[in-house]
Every structure is written in structure tokens, then in C-alpha cells.
Amino acid sequence: MSVRDDILTAIRQSLGAPAKPPGAISAESTALAAESAQSRPELPHADLVEAFAARLTSVKVVGASVDRIARIEDAPAAVARYCKTHGLGLALALQPDPALAALDWNGFELHAAISGDEAIAVAKARWAIAETGTFVFHSGPASPVLLSYLPMHHLCIIEADRILGHLEDYAIAEAGAAPPRNVNFITGASGTSDIEGRLVRGAHGPAFLHGIIVDPGLSEPKSS
Amino acid sequence: MPAALDDAPAASFKQRVAAALANPDLKIAIDRTTRTARQKREAAVADWPGFAPARDLGRRIKDHVIENLDHYLVEFERNAAASGAKVHYAATASEACDIVIDICRKTKGHTVTRSKSMLGEEIGLPHALDDAGLNRVETDLAEHIVQLAHDRPSHIIWPALHHKREDIAALFREHHHTPPNSDDVGAMVASARRELRPSFLGADIGISGANFLIADSGAVCTVTNEGNAELTTTIPRVHIVTAGIEKLVPGLSHAFVLLRLLVRSATGSDITQYTTFHCGPKQQGDRDGPDEFHIVLVDNGRTRMIREGIKEMLRCLRCGACMNHCVVFNEIGGHAYGGVYPGPMGAAMTPVFDGLKASRDLPSACTLNGRCQEVCPVDIPLPTMLRGWREKSWAQGLEPQVQRRFLGLWAFAASRPSLYRFGTGLAVKALRLLGRGGWISNLPLASGWTRYRDFPKPAARTFWQEFDAQDRKREQ
């Protein structure tokens, strides 16, 4: 017998009970998943955009700030605002997403390939989650994983209608879809508490995370 | 960065404990981390009214997986293979290491970056990689410290908990190319970032563990705050996952329930900064990612835990709350336990890994105060398990002769009520002679106790003497 079969046999023998039919296992599993609705944390606002923005700027999320714009076309201006506030130049790695490439980046110095000591990366997230203040990225031809991990400043653009309530809502939204190589849930800047339990930002990944929410409900751009 | 690992401590448990207690710096270092951890966990739990029902649900999800472990293992394997992963099985620690080394050789890897994994520590992977001549680079900050110090992790969440910041600053000044210019924690973290970045970019192989194995997609979930896992698993040509078979969950929604419990119990946050689901190698058109993705599924005693009657141990999420709240761990630290896993969960599991004969002191080094089970996010009955090991140790005749004789004597007396009452009556009288003002400050045969604290002077009469006296009064 192979090691695999040995382990499977050892599991069944040690449990001392016959295997259940797959249908029964699946029914139990579905019931357990459904139960999580009863215990998940409450959101601070009924409005998902408000809830997400509040969460992102709360002490619960490390090193994050937020800006809101009415249209995706306003994104370059929002990025420029951020760079100015932080005394940064306008050279950045831009996610090779068609929606971002179509914007007017006049005045910026853009590159698609990210370098080992990249200062700024700008990317559009696939989803956001209000419960935890999380941006969700799927790896793919238009979304390299390293954009989220190598830069010092990580700027994430999210459209208001892509903001979900709870973690489970992500599972529902993507149910049945073929998974990408990486699904990255990103909640704040990189941090470590490995030295005496004290939190320090920028351990290996970004030290700053800036969310830019594209909210058509907004008439005037405002910063917080 | 060549690193030779020190061998596991050879001294006895009692000697290791004595050494730990004699080290004043260790106590400072432990307290600095575990006090913060306890406070943050308490605040996180208080902030979430759903904690209790979620904990109950988490326990039932894990039990459901354990009862159907073979089903989920096969489902995970099928989906992982469909995503392009190569799935391997290892019954023992050495089999698992051999598989990993074999992959490194076949893919002609030289520099191996590693993201912290307790399973990796459990199977002795750091040692095996060094022995195979590979350039192993630990990328988790704490593991990096442990590697530079040539010692071993002492906590499952904060492996470098036994080092004070002053010692770490000295270590970085000695080893880093551009060392920190102060003992400030921020400067030290920045120095480690500078030092490790070239290793991330130049690695051939990345090795990670798994916090969850998602059966219905074949994805592997890692949970970190530093972002080192993603740099470890995205840049190299090959990504190898080593994971215990108990990490399985049916689907994403189940993982999220456990994730909420895990992170709050470990660090007091609601979620870690980086939670990533790795599914297969680089896909068509992907801009980054490994060409090969291997998953090594490891038993190493897990099916034996089911047989030994401690299958609840397979619920363990490796959050470390039990050790943060353990009065024994907080005095002696992680190294004194001698095993890979310290604290209550370590004391419950080490007899399975190292044999009860070699580790029988661990289940005894427990006050049974029950705090570990209270704070466990999946309600593992740790005190019951530790008592179970004590009973097994007694039944197998592993306890020392002196202890067996005295217990035999006590049992002889305890099963003869009149003899027992006569004996305790005498003992109370003798003890009262030694007492001064309600306390005994020097007790013959128990000087180990009275050296550090006084022993309470017993009441004038034993319970039975008092009971009989009251009985007589009532009859009159």
C-alpha cells in the first residue's frame, strides 16, 4: 500500500466508526457554514461604503488612510494628492489593469514591472470587505501579486459597488468560479509584533496603505 | 547566512526548569510579550458579542472535519491536483523532510526562503535543509532572530519571545550588513527588512506551512502580518507547502469562522494583515508566481492522537492562547518543555511525538487551573488530556519508585478510615507545633515549599474531629 492509503486506512481505523455517505457529510457541512450568520461581528454602519471607510481608518487596521472620489477618472488626482501629502515623487508601479491604463496619468512616471525597492504601487482591488476593512485581490494577467507586497506605499482603488459586508459574502460572491493562483486578503500595512509584542509597521511589505473609494454617490471629492 | 542549529536540550525537564527559573532576563522577556497578548485578546473577545457562539461553531466544524478526515483529505487532493498542484503524503517527520529535500534537489534549488510554519519545526525541516547543504533563509522576523541566535523557537506565535529587545539589537549589530543604529524596535525591524529583501528576490524555492487546507477548492491558506509568506511563495520558481492533515476545512466559509477565532485568540486583532489562499502554480498569463507547486500532507502522529483518545487535539488552530495564559509557561518559558510545542498544548501533544517515557514530566507540570481550556478558541479539553497522560504514566509504571511507594502508603491508609483519621489527627497536631501566628515558615521534608512561601497552619481539629464534635452536640 502507498503512504496515502496507509494514512487513509489509519484515519478510518482510529476513528472506529464507518465512513458516512458523502451526501450526509455535505449536508452537515452546509448546515455548519450557514450557522456562521448567527455569530459574525456586526457592521458599524448599515451603509457598506460608510462601514468600510470607518473600519479602514479605525485603530483596528494598521497604517491605513482613506480618500473618496466620485469617478474613477479622478483617481490620478487622488494619487497625486497622496504623493504630495507624503512628500513622494510621482514615479509608481501601476497595475496593468485596462481600467487604470485608460486613465489620464499625465505627469506621472509609470512602470508595469515592480522593482525590489518600489516606493509606490497603485492597484484596483477586486473586492473589499467592510467587516474587517479588507481589500481582496485575485492574481492574474492584469494583477500581479507582488504589487501588493514590495512597495512601501500601497494605494488600493475600490469601487463602491464592490464593497461586501462580511467575509462570508466573498465566498458567496465567488462561489463556483475557478480560483486564481492567489487570492490575497489585505488588511492594512505590513506589521510585526515579534519583538516584545510591540507593533511596528513595514516589516517586509508596505508600511502605508491608502484606500481610494470610487463612490458615484459622492458629488465633491473629500479627504479624511 | 550559514546557520547550524543547536541540538535539542539534553538535560532533564527539572534541570531545564531550574535553568529557566535562574535566568532573570527570561522572565522579563516572557512577561513583556504575554501580558500584551492577554490584554489584547481579552479586549478583542469583549468587542465581539458573537465570540461564544462562534467558538462553539468552530469546535463543531473541527469535529466534523476530524470525523470525516479521510473524506476531506481525498476531496482536497482531487481539487489541488486539478489546480496543478503536486500532492505528496508523508506518514512521519523524516518522510516529510525527505520529500522536501528531494524536490529541492530535483529542481536544482540552492537558496530556500521559509515562511514560519510550526509543522516545519515539528518535522525538523530547518535542520534537514541545513544538513542537505541548502542555503536556508528564515523570513519571519522572529524566526530570523532565532536563526541568527542559533537557538530554537520558544513560542508558537512569537518564536523569539525569549529574547529581550536589547539582545536582539546586539544580534542585528553583529550580523546585519547595515545594522540598526539604536535599540529602537522600529529601527531593528527596518534593518531586518533591508537584510532580507535580497534573499526574497534571489530565492529558488519558497517553503510555507498552511493555516487551513480548503477541501472544496484545493487551496492552501496562510495567515501572516508581515507579508513574508507572499514574498516567499510568489518569487521563487518552486513553492512547497508542508501541512498537517488536521488543517483541512470543508470550504471558505468554514475557514472564515475559524479565522475570526484564530486571529483574535492569537494577537487580539480581528484579522491578520495578510490572509492568502494559494491555489496551484502560476496560471496562463500570470505575471508572477511559481512554476511548480507542491503540497506535502503530513500525518506524523495525528492518526495516533485519534487512537490515543486525544482526537480533540486535532482541533488546535495553533493560536498560542493556552500558553499565554498558563501560569507554568509564564514562569519557565517555552524551551524548558523540551519539545517543539510548549505550554499546555505542547504538554498534551509531546507524549505522542516523543513517547510518554521521555515526556511524562510535562503533563505533571500543570496546576490544572483550567485556564487553557477556557481561553482555547475551539474548547480543547487540555486539563482532561493532561490528567489522562498522568493516568497512563501511572498505569505504565513510569512514575519514580519513591512516588509510587508514598502513593501506595497513602492508598493503604486512605482505604482504612480509622487508620486515616488517626494519622491525619497526628499530622495536624505535629504541624500546629511548627506554626507561628497562623503560618509555618519552615517545614521539615518540604523546605522546597517553605523556602519561597509560608505553609498555612492547619485548624485545631481535622474535618472529621469537627464533624463528630458537632454531631455529638446535636445529639445532646
- Mean pLDDT for A33-58 is 95
| B-chain residues near A32 (CB < 8 A) | 57, 60-61, 64, 250, 254
Q: How many CB pairs under 8 A join A and B?
A: 268
Strand spans (E) along chain A:
64-69, 91-94, 109-111, 120-124, 127-129, 134-138, 153-159, 163-164, 182-186, 191-192, 200-201, 208-214, 222-223
Residue B117 sits in the same domain as residue B262: yes
- Mean pLDDT for B458-473 is 89
Per-residue confidence (pLDDT) for residue B3, from 0 to 100: 36
Whether pLDDT at B1 is above 60: no
Three-state SS for A137?
strand
Shortest CA gap A220–chain B (Å): 31
Residue B29 lies in a domain: yes
Shortest CA gap B377–chain A (Å): 14
Per-residue confidence (pLDDT) for residue B4, from 0 to 100: 37
Residue A2 forms contact with B (CB below 8 Å)? yes
CATH number of the structural domain spanning residue B154: 3.40.50.10420
Residue B244 sits in the same domain as residue B95: yes
Residue B152 lies in a domain: yes
Class of domain A44-223: alpha beta
Shortest CA gap B32–chain A (Å): 6
Substitution target from A3, A6, A118, A196 for chain B, most B beta carbons within 10 A: A196
Q: Label residue B7 by pLDDT band (50, 70, 90).
A: very low
- Mean pLDDT for B204-231 is 97
- Mean pLDDT for B50-59 is 98
Percent of chain A with pLDDT over 70: 97
For residue B282, what are the domain limits?
13-163+204-303
Per-residue confidence (pLDDT) for residue B38, from 0 to 100: 97
CB contact under 8 A, B273 and A190: yes
Q: Label residue B10 by pLDDT band (50, 70, 90).
A: low
Query: Which of these three, B253, B274, B303, is where a domain ends?
Result: B303
CB contact under 8 A, A186 and B274: yes
Contact A163, A49 (CB under 8 A): yes
* ipTM value: 0.96
Residue B381 lies in a domain: no
Residue B36 forms contact with A (CB below 8 Å)? yes
Q: Is B333 left (phi over 0), alpha (psi -120 to 50) or beta?
A: left
| B-chain residues near A141 (CB < 8 A) | 285-287
Query: Which of these three, B286, B303, B320, is where a domain ends?
Result: B303
Query: Which of these three, B278, B303, B328, is where a domain ends?
Result: B303
Residue B231 lies in a domain: yes
Q: What is the pLDDT of residues A194-223, one digit of tens each?
A: 888 788 999 999 999 999 999 998 865 445
- Mean pLDDT for B96-111 is 97
Per-residue confidence (pLDDT) for residue B376, from 0 to 100: 98
Residue B350 lies in a domain: no
Which B residues 296-315 touch A at CB under 8 Å?
Answer: 297, 299, 303-304, 306-307, 311
Scanning B283-379, the segments in alpha helix (DSSP H) are 302-307, 321-324, 327-332, 343-354, 356-359, 361-364, 371-375
Q: How many domains does chain B have?
A: 2
| Contacts by B173-177, CB closer than 8 A, 24 or more apart | B174/B148, B175/B1, B175/B148
CA B30 to chain centroid: 15
Q: What is the pLDDT of residues B235-292, one digit of tens each?
A: 999 999 999 999 999 999 999 999 999 999 999 999 999 999 999 999 999 999 999 9
Whether pLDDT at A47 is above 70: yes
Structure-block grid coordinates of residue B247 = 488543517
CB contact under 8 A, A185 and B36: no
* Strand-pair partners of A121: A93, A154
Residue A40 forms contact with B (CB below 8 Å)? yes
| A-chain residues near B291 (CB < 8 A) | none
Structure-block grid coordinates of residue A164 = 461586501
Per-residue confidence (pLDDT) for residue B6, from 0 to 100: 46
Q: What is the pLDDT of residues A169-195, one digit of tens each?
A: 999 999 999 999 999 999 999 999 888
Q: Choose among A179, A215, A183, A212: nearest CA to A80.
A: A212
Whether pLDDT at B8 is above 70: no
- Integer CA distances (angstroms), B40 to B16, B34, B122, B321, in order: 30, 10, 28, 11
Which B residues 170-199 touch A at CB under 8 Å?
Answer: 185-186, 188-190, 192-193, 196-198
Domain with CATH 3.40.50.10420 in chain A: 44-223
- Mean pLDDT for B461-470 is 89
Structure-block grid coordinates of residue B342 = 510548549
Residue B266 forms contact with A (CB below 8 Å)? no
Structure-block grid coordinates of residue B228 = 513574508
B142, B164, B280: residue with CB nearest A181 = B280
Between B240-244, B254-258, B387-391, B406-410, the lowest mean confidence (pLDDT) is in B406-410
Tell me the pLDDT of chain B averaged across its residues.
94
Between A36-45, A58-67, A190-199, B57-66, the lowest mean confidence (pLDDT) is in A190-199
